[in-house]
Every structure is written in C-alpha cells, then in structure tokens.
C-alpha cells in the first residue's frame, strides 16, 4: 500500500471542507475521485501532497508517516521525512505551472538537477526520453507560451515523471483545456495506467474514469459518499446521491 489516510479533517474558517475522510491506494492502482465543485476533492489532494495541512487525521505515504495524532494534537513528521515523502510524490496541476522563462527541455532538466542532484547530461537524456513518451520531442527548445494548453499539460506530466515519483496525483488535468485537446492528455494518462503507475486523479471526465480507474471515489460536501469499481459507482450505483450527481452531470 502506497497511501493510507485516516479520519482527515480540514476546514477554512467556519467551513468544513473535509470531514472524516479515510482512503487507501495500493501500488499500481489508479483511483479516480469524482464529485461536484466544492466537494473537497482538490483540498484532499492538496492535503495529501503537503500543500495544505490537515486539522486532524493521519497520513502515511510510501511507508512514511507524514501526519499523526498524538492525543488531540496533530503532529507532522520532521522536515527530513517530509522531504523524503515529497520525492515519492508527483503532482500535475490544472494550470500546468511550467516556468515560462525556461525552454521545455530546461523545465524538465532543472527539476532533476536541483531536486535529484543528477548531472546535466543524465538529466537531459532522461528529459528527451520523457518528451518522446509524451510525443513532444520536437518541442524541446520551445517555450511554454509557444505551446497549446494540451502540449503544456503533457510537458507538466513529463516534468512530474522526471522525478521518479512512486505515486502521481492529478488535479483536474483537463479542466483548463479546450475539448479537442483533452484526448491527448487522457491518452498519456491511459498509457501510464497500462504501465501500472500508481495514480490518484481528480477528474470530471466520467468516461475516462470508467475506462482507466481501478476504483472510483465519489465525494460530496466533504465526505466520501461511495467508493467501488467503475462499474459499481458509475454504471450500477444504488446510492441516491451518486445517482443524482451522475444524472446532473450528464445533463
């Protein structure tokens, strides 16, 4: 098991965003998280990747305890352990987060040099291999602003993969894209799933979740309402809230 979260709670002011969330992710598994806007999906991802701190709960990633409860007190791991956990985790954002002043190649090379301490020659070789993987080697010398949104997102995926994460998180990876560009991102993620990359994907692409995910989690109002196989949750749910969401979603 690469990820285990128990009884997570997170609020902003008087608003409870996560309420008693528990989940597990096994190695090689693809978990899709679906639900309406404001259901807590992205906040959950941010808590699991250290971008937010939970108010209560326990998180273990790749065998390392990131957060635990000691009595009523939330205790985070020491900085060294938190850094080691970050190296095991990759995160692909909605809006790419590439460095606009760096070429595509430098975006991927610099992450390896500064984080993994690789020499530039090795980092460049790996970057080119990853650009082949996302079918964008011809854009190595281009700058992010010269690329389409779909191309930028594929570069962001390549950059995340360059750091050898054991688990890869995606936060709505297609939400900022025009409909005709979504397919090229889903194709890359689909290929990663076939390679047994462990992934947690917050998505509104129901057909994609059905085709790629091993398990689907449906969240609403900060709680996990239902989880199961895509067939159980998306095709044959008996849960009224899940059914209402899917009916609204499909319009």
pLDDT (tens, 9 = 90+) of the chain, 251 residues, equals: 999 999 999 999 999 999 999 999 999 999 999 999 999 999 999 999 999 999 999 999 999 999 999 999 999 999 999 999 999 999 998 888 899 999 999 999 998 999 999 999 999 999 999 999 999 999 999 999 999 999 999 999 999 999 999 999 999 988 878 887 888 889 999 999 999 999 999 999 898 899 999 999 999 999 999 999 999 999 999 999 999 999 987 65
CA angle 250/222/204 to nearest 5° reads 30
Stated pTM of the model: 0.94
Beta strands 167-171 and 198-202: pairing type? parallel
Q: Are 145 and 100 in contact (CB under 8 A)?
A: yes
Q: 3-class DSSP state for residue 228?
A: strand
């Amino acid at each position: 098991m690469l990820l285990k979260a128990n009884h997570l709670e997170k609020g902003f002011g008087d608003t409870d965003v996560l309420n008693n969330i528990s989940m597990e992710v096994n190695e090689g598994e693809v978990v899709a998280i679906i639900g309406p806007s404001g259901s807590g999906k992205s906040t959950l991802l941010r808590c699991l990747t250290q971008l937010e701190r939970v108010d209560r709960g326990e998180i273990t990633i790749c065998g390392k305890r990131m957060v635990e409860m000691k009595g009523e007190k939330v205790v985070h791991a020491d900085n060294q352990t938190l850094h080691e956990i970050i190296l095991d985790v990759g995160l692909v954002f909605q809006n790419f987060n590439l460095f606009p002043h760096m070429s595509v190649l430098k975006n991927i090379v610099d992450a390896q040099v500064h984080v993994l301490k690789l020499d530039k020659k090795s980092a460049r070789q790996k970057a080119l291999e990853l650009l082949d993987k996302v079918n964008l080697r011809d854009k190595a010398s281009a700058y992010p602003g010269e690329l389409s949104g779909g191309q930028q997102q594929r570069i962001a995926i390549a950059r995340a993969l360059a750091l050898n994460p054991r688990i890869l998180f995606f936060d709505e990876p297609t939400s900022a894209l025009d409909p005709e560009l979504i397919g090229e991102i889903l194709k890359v993620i689909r290929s990663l799933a076939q390679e047994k990359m462990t992934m947690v994907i917050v998505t509104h692409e129901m057909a994609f979740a059905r085709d790629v995910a091993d398990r689907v989690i449906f969240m609403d109002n900060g709680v996990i309402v239902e989880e199961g196989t895509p067939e159980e949750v998306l095709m044959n749910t008996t849960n009224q809230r899940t059914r209402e969401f899917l009916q609204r979603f499909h319009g």
